[in-house]
Structure 1
Amino acid sequence: MTDTDRLLPARPVRSLDEHLAAGGGAGLARALELDPDQVIELVDAAGLRGRGGAGFPTARKWRGVLANAVAAEVAPTLVANGAEGEPGTYKDRVLLEQQPYAFLEGVCIAMYATGAATAHIATKAKFTGPVAALTDAFQQVQAAGWPGADRIEVTLGPDAYLFGEETGMLRVIEGALPLPQVTRPFEEGLFATTLAPNPTVVNNVETFSHVARIVAEGPDWFREAGTEASPGTMLFSVVGDVESPGTYELAMGTPLRTLLEDIAGARDVKVVAPGVSSGVITPGMLDTPLDFDAMRKAGTGLGSGGFVVYDSSRSIVDVLAVLLRFLAVESCGQCNPCKLGNIEMYEVLAKIQRGEATRTDLERMLLRSHTVTDQNRCYLPIGSQALVGSTVEAFVDEFVATVEAGEPTPADLPVPLIDHIDEATGRVTFHERYHLKRSDWSYADQDPGEQRLAALRGEGPA
């Protein structure tokens, strides 16, 4: 194992004995020798930042939730987010399938450090391979008597983008649909009431997977990789017009060009989408370091580390249309400017794709992008605004030329929502039925009412 192979094992770890033989368990044992505050201090000194999107300092989140819980005279709750649904992202599933024990060890350490009464692991029912590996590992650590393991529950939820939004996830664990809320989990968490706000820590699978070795090896070891502000390693997924799609572990601060061109084999890059929650990346930005602050300064975002590459053969209208349709469909409809605005912007793009649009239509889309965030409850419309604004700004000449040509575009791009990446062959399987998904979250070949009931039961896509 090299210094940048900290999370991904050389081969999948299939038993607790294998995990322990490789040094696993040392982090949990060390944590139990320390006071909870000392454990959080180790995570703080390591500089671990959340790997699920915003890059918020992990220790600061834990301390904030703990302070709110103490003030409310309740024990905090902990939630592990394994419902990754950002287009282009495929890493938490890899960790759950290949090394679930390190993840579970991190969860147990976090429960001890925060004094969490319970913990919940939430992932999608459709992730059958990762769920099977997690279930097997969970049973083994419970049988081994790991402290806290008896207070962990696993929730299998629907195939909905907003299941991965932290407040939407809490609603699913509570048995409802993934409808985001205004208040954040650190204020009002899982099963909150007016008397018991239940402040809740929410981190993703990769974040928890780092914790055990940080506690076992120490903050200085963790900081041997990465940058001062973004220490450690991170998993990055690359799909699209590349020779070697896959999930790779790199030191934070590695140039984006190294990941896309040298490792994934991207050639003739036209535009890169870092999921659908940030501005697009153009060729002049490829030397940007892979860290949260540098990517934000460049006008985009690191997000959850997923990148979709499109080469110069692609129509930029088709690229934006396929990504924006995803957001239009996945918007929950609680905020009309978001749902209706994203639908209207997508309809303009579909009109351009058919060769029927005018410049006025293009201007109407840009105007809508300015209001789509009004009254927003979650980050989805903010991502939409950044996606539309950055794409049109970078490729305005192509948009105008396509409109004026009045000819149909190829319209041949799939939604880059990854179902599976075969490590042996590099074959990427995208969501095969997504083109049938409608804006009410039902599918064109299924009754909407039955679809919603199945989603609530965790039996199928939402």
Structure 2
Amino acid sequence: MPARRHRRDDEPRQFRNTAGTRRRRSVSMEPSAQILPEDGATIDSLDAYRARGGGEAFERARASAPEAVIEELRRAGLRGRGGAGFETAVKWSTVRGDPAPIKFVCANGAEGEPGTFKDRHLLRTNPYQVIEGLAIARHVIGAERAYLCVKRRFEPEIAAVRRALEELARFSEMAAAIELVLGPDEYLYGEEKALLTVVEGGPALPRVLPPYIHGLFAPPYDGRQPERHHPTVVNNIETLAHVTRIVGNGAEQFRRFGTANTPGTMLFTVSGDVQHSLVTERPLGTTLRELIFEVAGGPPPGRELKAVMPGLAGAVMTADRLDTPLSFEAMHQAGSALGSGGFVVYDDHACMAHVAWLCSRFLHAESCGQCPPCKLGSERITERLERLLNGSGHRRDLDDITATLAWVPNGARCGLATSEALVVGSLLRAFPGDFDAHLRGSCHLRHNDILPKITDYVPGHGFIYAGTPHRPGSTDG
């Protein structure tokens, strides 16, 4: 009898899925084990959702003790899919166990990370599973109300969610006390502390304390009356869709895919210099190389991959790190981050000094200004990079950028300033030749790339992006 082969933690279990893909490696799996509908379908009615077992997880949760549901999530090892990868069971149990009498839960669908479209695609194709997960969260946590938060410009998603909520209100208790919140088209709306401010009717400004300490509609925090702080759970909508799957099918099925420490599947967005831009569901532990080359087709013929940006979640991934498994631990060990699963690919014709400017420019524009080091530092970095690209830069500008990156995150209320330091700093270290070429006036690489803000997606055809390619000194298209 041959020796039993032990699976590494970062080695994925078998997974098959064809949702939204054509001309790529064909894979399939049982529909109950994935959150995207099979074969690129759209679940556009309650009858269609129920035919797939919809509603069973909510009824199972209501028939179980809340602690038992949380324990099932803990056994499943579900981690948040919005970027941080925090354990869902820990987040829920913290708020569930808080003695405060008033609690809330929010579903974060305010997607705005460049190169990411997975939440919008999920809401378009399977809104019922997200709503069911939110209803389970409200029941288990003991929340007074639940809020599903999206941007008001997400018209197809809003229509899908409203239709689902209206149907559920007529035929089920799942939609009880769930409110749809439409917010601004600002990057920071997706930050959990800023999201609470928007739900309360204010601008997308991050508050100081996290939601589980200072939640929705709570008076100013003084630390002396904890029963009045209204602890709130904020979960990404993909996380909630996985909750439905776990409660309905059990932790064991969920753990059949992914890795030991990052189990399950995840929605990935691949854009940029690839032959097939797409949103796809894959097991965590799939390598970055497999995702880009076997699923998205790799760069165009005759081109070589140069860099991969994980949105603005972490440092650039260079070609020598493509065999990194897509798990929270492995990406961290590689010096980057898994983020929300959005990857922007740049081929060997791209100038990474220009990409650094695009990233810094975006982050400066989206900085709320509450933390001066973030707003002033990102402005300073953007100006120095623009000077470099316009041919008037000097070595001292690069030195100044490096010095500014060291203090730009000081006192930050959110992760935006940290993104500035991680992204721009990693590009400076990984591609010094691209920056030096601009100092010499000899850069012949491409300078019409965009930082992809995806506005629409047609499976099998690709993405539509906002605006036009940005050039130093130009205005947004």
Say whether the fold is shared (TM-score over 0.5).
Answer: yes
What SS does structure 1 have at the residue aligned with 2:176? helix
Q: Which residue matches 1:385?
A: 421
What SS does structure 2 have at the residue aligned with 1:363? helix
What SS does structure 1 have at the residue aligned with 2:233? strand
Q: Using the alignment, how far apart are the partners of 1:32 and 1:376 within structure 2? A: 40
- 1:274-423 pair list within 5 angstroms: 274-405=310-441, 410-423=446-459
| Correspondence for 2:47 among 17, 31, 38 | 17
Q: Using the alignment, how far apart are the partners of 2:315 and 2:326 within structure 1? A: 15
What SS does structure 2 have at the residue aligned with 1:150? coil
Superposition deviation, residue 282 in structure 1: 0.3
Q: Which residue matches 1:114?
A: 141
Which region of structure 1 is more displaced relative to structure 2, 191-200 or 314-323? 191-200
Is 2:55 the partner of 1:28? no
Q: Which residue matches 2:464?
A: 429
Q: Which residue matches 1:186?
A: 212
Amino acid corresponding to residue 335 of structure 1 in structure 2: C
Q: Using the alignment, how far apart are the partners of 1:223 and 1:3 within structure 2? A: 14
Q: Using the alignment, how far apart are the partners of 2:63 and 2:353 within structure 1? A: 57
Deviation readout 1:107-151 (Å, 9 max, x if unpaired): 11111111111101110011111110011001111111324x221
Is 2:131 the partner of 1:104? yes
Q: Using the alignment, how far apart are the partners of 2:443 and 2:283 within structure 1? A: 45
Deviation readout 1:23-62 (Å, 9 max, x if unpaired): 1111111111111111111111100000000100000011
Q: Contact 2:193–2:210 at 8 Å: present in 1 too?
A: yes
Superposition deviation, residue 266 in structure 1: 1.8
Q: Which residue matches 2:309?
A: 273
Q: Which residue matches 1:65?
A: 95
Superposition deviation, residue 406 in structure 1: 6.1
Q: Which residue matches 1:144?
A: 171
Q: What is the percent sequence identity of the aligned residues?
A: 42
Q: Using the alignment, how far apart are the partners of 1:284 and 1:203 within structure 2? A: 34
Q: Using the alignment, how far apart are the partners of 2:468 and 2:394 within structure 1? A: 31
In the superposition, relative to structure 1, how do residues 171 and 191 fare at CA in structure 2: closer, same or farther (>3 Å)?
same
Q: Using the alignment, how far apart are the partners of 2:142 and 2:116 within structure 1? A: 31
Q: Which residue matches 1:49?
A: 79
Superposition deviation, residue 433 in structure 1: 7.2
Q: Contact 1:256–1:287 at 8 Å: present in 2 too?
A: yes
Is 2:219 the partner of 1:200? no
Superposition deviation, residue 254 in structure 1: 0.6
In the superposition, relative to structure 1, how do residues 311 and 433 fare at CA in structure 2: closer, same or farther (>3 Å)?
closer
Q: Contact 1:83–1:163 at 8 Å: present in 2 too?
A: yes
Q: Which residue matches 2:3?
A: none
Q: Using the alignment, how far apart are the partners of 1:48 and 1:263 within structure 2? A: 24
Q: Contact 2:356–2:427 at 8 Å: present in 1 too?
A: yes
Q: Contact 1:269–1:283 at 8 Å: present in 2 too?
A: yes
Superposition deviation, residue 410 in structure 1: 4.8
Q: Using the alignment, how far apart are the partners of 1:95 and 1:228 within structure 2? A: 25
Deviation readout 1:146-178 (Å, 9 max, x if unpaired): 24x221111101100000000111111111110
Which region of structure 1 is more displaced relative to structure 2, 417-426 or 6-15? 417-426
Which region of structure 1 is more displaced relative to structure 2, 411-420 or 245-254? 411-420
| Correspondence for 1:245 among 259, 265, 277 | 277
Superposition deviation, residue 3 in structure 1: 5.0
Gaps of at least 5 residues in structure 2 are 1-27
Which region of structure 1 is more displaced relative to structure 2, 152-161 or 192-201? 192-201
Q: Count residues with an aligned counterpart.
A: 435
In the superposition, relative to structure 1, how do residues 112 and 266 fare at CA in structure 2: closer, same or farther (>3 Å)?
same
In the superposition, relative to structure 1, how do residues 444 and 262 fare at CA in structure 2: closer, same or farther (>3 Å)?
closer
Q: Using the alignment, how far apart are the partners of 1:371 and 1:25 within structure 2? A: 50
Q: Contact 1:354–1:409 at 8 Å: present in 2 too?
A: no
Q: Using the alignment, how far apart are the partners of 2:190 and 2:379 within structure 1? A: 21
Amino acid corresponding to residue 148 of structure 2 in structure 1: I
| Correspondence for 1:93 among 96, 111, 120 | 120
In the superposition, relative to structure 1, how do residues 296 and 250 fare at CA in structure 2: closer, same or farther (>3 Å)?
same
Gaps of at least 5 residues in structure 1 are 446-462
Q: Contact 2:214–2:229 at 8 Å: present in 1 too?
A: yes
Superposition deviation, residue 78 in structure 1: 0.1
CA RMSD of aligned residues (A): 1.8
Amino acid corresponding to residue 103 of structure 1 in structure 2: V
Is 2:112 the partner of 1:80? no
Q: Using the alignment, how far apart are the partners of 1:31 and 1:175 within structure 2? A: 32
In the superposition, relative to structure 1, how do residues 433 and 64 fare at CA in structure 2: closer, same or farther (>3 Å)?
farther
Q: Using the alignment, how far apart are the partners of 1:415 and 1:387 within structure 2? A: 13
Q: Contact 2:468–2:476 at 8 Å: present in 1 too?
A: no
Superposition deviation, residue 408 in structure 1: 8.3
Deviation readout 1:86-120 (Å, 9 max, x if unpaired): 00111111111100111111111111111111101
Superposition deviation, residue 67 in structure 1: 2.6
Q: Using the alignment, how far apart are the partners of 1:203 and 1:293 within structure 2? A: 20
Q: Using the alignment, how far apart are the partners of 2:258 and 2:461 within structure 1? A: 30
Amino acid corresponding to residue 392 of structure 1 in structure 2: L
Superposition deviation, residue 66 in structure 1: 2.1
The alignment's TM-score, normalised by the length of structure 2, stands at: 0.88
Q: Contact 1:355–1:406 at 8 Å: present in 2 too?
A: no
Q: Using the alignment, how far apart are the partners of 1:215 and 1:94 within structure 2? A: 22
Q: Contact 2:450–2:468 at 8 Å: present in 1 too?
A: no
What SS does structure 2 have at the residue aligned with 1:250? strand
